C-alpha cells in the first residue's frame, strides 16, 4: 500500500493512494507516532476519493519525534570526500521543522551561498523498539519514502559538528508517499536506484547495493542509544555526486528544478527560490 499525509478543503488527513486518487482514512490526521503499522493497516475509508492533483501533499511524516540521518554511507560519496571508510554509522539529526512536502519550494536562505542537494532513501519506523536485533530490524519498518537532505555547506563546515548546515528550517523535502514493505522490497536482495536530476541533468546516480551500512544495521545501531518510535524517520545517506565535491562546485540557485528519485518508492520534484527575508522584530 501507499499512503500520504495531505491537506484538502482546509483539513489535514491521511490518505491511501489508489491510482490517481487519494482515499481519506478515518483516525489520526497525519502519519506519525499515532500510526503504528497495525493502526495504519486497519484504517477504514472516511469519505469519497479525491483526485490527487487537488490535494496538497505534506511531508509524509509531518512531525516525527526523531529524524536521524546517516552521513558518508555510500562508497562513492566517501571517496569524493577523501575520507576513510567509516567503521560505524556517522549519525546526525534534523528537526521536524526542517521538513517540507514533495512539491513544496526549496527556499534558499539569504545567509548561505552553498546550498546543496542530497538524494536519499528514507525509512519510517512503524513499531517501537529499543536495542533491536539486526535480524529483527525490518519488522519495525512501517515503510519507505524519499528525502532530499538539502545542506547548507558553508554552515555545515564551520565546525566539526554538522547541525547548522543540516537542520535549516523548511529545507528538507520528504515524500511523496509512504510505501509499505509489501509494496516495495528495499532489502539487500532488491536493489533500488537512487538519483538526483538537476535542471534535466543527472548529477547523482547509484543504488542501495552500495550502502556501506544497510537498513537493519542502521536501525540496530540507532536503537542502542534511543528508543525508536512509530513515525521516526531515518535518512540512509546520499550517493556520490554532491555539488560541493564537484569541480567546479555546483549549488542550488533561484529557479532551479531538483528531482530526487528512489526506484519503486517515489519521486520528489521541487522548485528552488530565494527567500524574502522577514522583518526583524526587536
Average pLDDT of 207-212? 94
Task: Enter the DSSP assignment of 5.
Answer: E
Cα–Cα distance, 174 to 61 (Å, whole number): 8
User: Grid cell 547495493 — which residue?
Assistant: 209
80 pLDDT exceeds 90? no
Specify whether 36 is located in the same domain as 160: no
Q: How far is 90 from 80, CA to CA, in rounded Å?
A: 16
Distance separating alpha carbons of residues 14 and 182, to the nearest angstrom:
19
For position 278, what pLDDT does the model report?
61
Nearest to 13 by CA among 27, 36, 33, 29: 29
Specify whether the CB–CB gap between 26 and 42 falls below 8 A: no
Helix (H) or strand (E) holding 235: strand 233-235
Residue 227 lies in a domain: yes
Q: Which residue has the higher pLDDT, 153 or 78?
A: 153
The lowest-confidence range among 39-53, 177-191, 223-237 is 177-191
Q: Structural domain of residue 80, as residue ranges?
A: 67-274
Cβ pair 238, 119 in contact under 8 A = yes
Instruction: Please compute the mean of the pLDDT values over residues 38-57 and round it to a whole number.
Output: 97
On the question of a cis peptide bond just before residue 39, with omega within 30 degrees of 0, the verdict is no
If asked whether residues 144 and 263 sit together in one domain, one would say yes
pLDDT at 83: 84
d(Cα 218, Cα 221) in Å, to the nearest integer?
Answer: 5
Segment 5-16 shows an average pLDDT of: 97
pLDDT tens, residue by residue, 145-198 = 999 999 999 999 999 999 999 999 999 999 999 999 999 988 666 789 999 999
Say if residue 53 is in the same domain as residue 144: no
Task: Count how many domains the chain has.
Answer: 2
- Comparing 281 with 204, the larger pLDDT belongs to 204
Looking at the chain, the whole-number percentage of residues with pLDDT higher than 70 is 97
282 pLDDT band, cuts 50/70/90, is low
For residue 53, how far is the Cα from the chain centroid? 22
Q: Are residues 110 and 212 in the same domain?
A: yes
Q: Mean pLDDT score of the chain, rounded to an integer?
A: 95
Same domain, 209 and 265: yes
Q: What is the 3-state secondary structure (H, E, C) of 191-221?
A: CCEEEEEECCEEEEEEEHHHECCCHHHHHHH
**pLDDT of amino acid 61:** 98
End-of-domain residue from the set 36, 57, 78: 57
Residue 264, pLDDT above cutoff 90: yes
- What is the average per-residue pLDDT within 24-47? 97
Q: Which residues are CB-neighbours of 156 under 8 A, at least 6 positions away?
A: 162, 164, 165, 166
Q: Are residues 148 and 205 in the same domain?
A: yes
48 and 88: one domain? no
Domain assignment of residue 279, yes or no: no
> Domain containing 117 — which CATH number?
3.90.850.10
How buried is 3 (Cβ within 10 angstroms: 0-12 exposed, 13-18 middle, 19+ buried)?
buried
How many Cβ atoms are within 10 Å of 34's Cβ, its own excluded? 14
pLDDT digits (tens, 9 = 90+) for 101-150: 999 999 999 999 999 999 999 999 999 999 999 999 999 999 999 999 99
Torsion sign across C-alpha atoms 146, 249, 106, 62: positive
Is residue 194 assigned to a domain?
yes
Q: Indicate whether 120 and 207 sit together in one domain.
A: yes
Residue 276's pLDDT is what? 75
Amino acid at each position: 500500500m501507499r499512503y500520504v499525509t495531505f491537506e484538502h478543503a482546509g483539513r489535514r488527513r491521511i490518505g491511501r493512494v489508489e491510482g490517481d486518487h487519494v482515499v481519506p482514512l478515518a483516525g489520526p490526521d497525519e502519519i506519525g507516532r499515532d500510526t503504528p503499522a497495525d493502526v495504519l493497516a486497519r484504517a477504514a475509508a472516511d469519505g469519497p476519493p479525491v483526485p490527487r492533483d487537488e490535494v496538497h501533499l505534506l511531508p509524509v511524516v509531518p512531525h516525527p519525534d526523531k529524524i536521524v540521518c546517516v552521513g558518508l554511507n555510500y562508497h562513492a560519496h566517501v571517496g569524493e570526500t577523501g575520507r576513510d571508510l567509516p567503521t560505524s554509522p556517522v549519525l546526525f539529526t534534523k528537526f521536524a521543522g526542517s521538513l517540507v512536502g514533495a512539491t513544496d519550494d526549496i527556499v534558499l536562505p539569504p545567509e548561505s551561498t552553498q546550498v546543496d542537494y542530497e538524494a536519499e532513501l528514507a525509512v519510517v519506523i512503524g513499531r517501537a523498539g529499543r536495542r533491536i536485533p539486526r535480524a529483527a530490524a525490518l519488522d519495525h519498518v512501517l515503510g519507505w519514502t524519499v528525502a532530499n537532505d538539502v545542506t547548507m555547506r558553508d554552515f555545515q563546515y564551520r565546525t566539526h559538528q554538522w547541525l547548522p548546515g543540516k537542520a535549516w528550517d523548511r529545507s528538507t523535502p520528504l515524500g511523496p508517499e509512504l510505501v509499505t514493505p509489501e509494496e516495495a522490497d528495499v532489502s539487500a536482495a532488491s536493489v533500488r536506484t537512487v538519483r538526483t536530476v538537476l535542471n534535466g541533468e543527472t548529477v547523482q546516480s547509484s543504488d542501495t547495493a552500495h550502502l556501506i551500512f544497510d537498513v537493519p544495521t542502521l536501525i540496530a545501531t540507532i536503537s542502542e542509544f534511543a528508543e525508536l518510535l512509530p513515525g521516526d524517520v531515518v535518512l540512509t545517506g546520499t550517493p556520490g555526486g554532491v555539488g560541493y565535491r564537484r569541480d567546479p562546485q555546483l549549488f542550488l540557485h533561484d529557479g532551479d528544478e531538483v528531482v530526487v528519485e528512489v526506484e519503486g518508492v517515489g519521486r520528489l520534484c521541487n522548485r528552488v527560490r530565494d527567500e524574502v527575508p522577514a522583518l526583524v522584530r526587536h
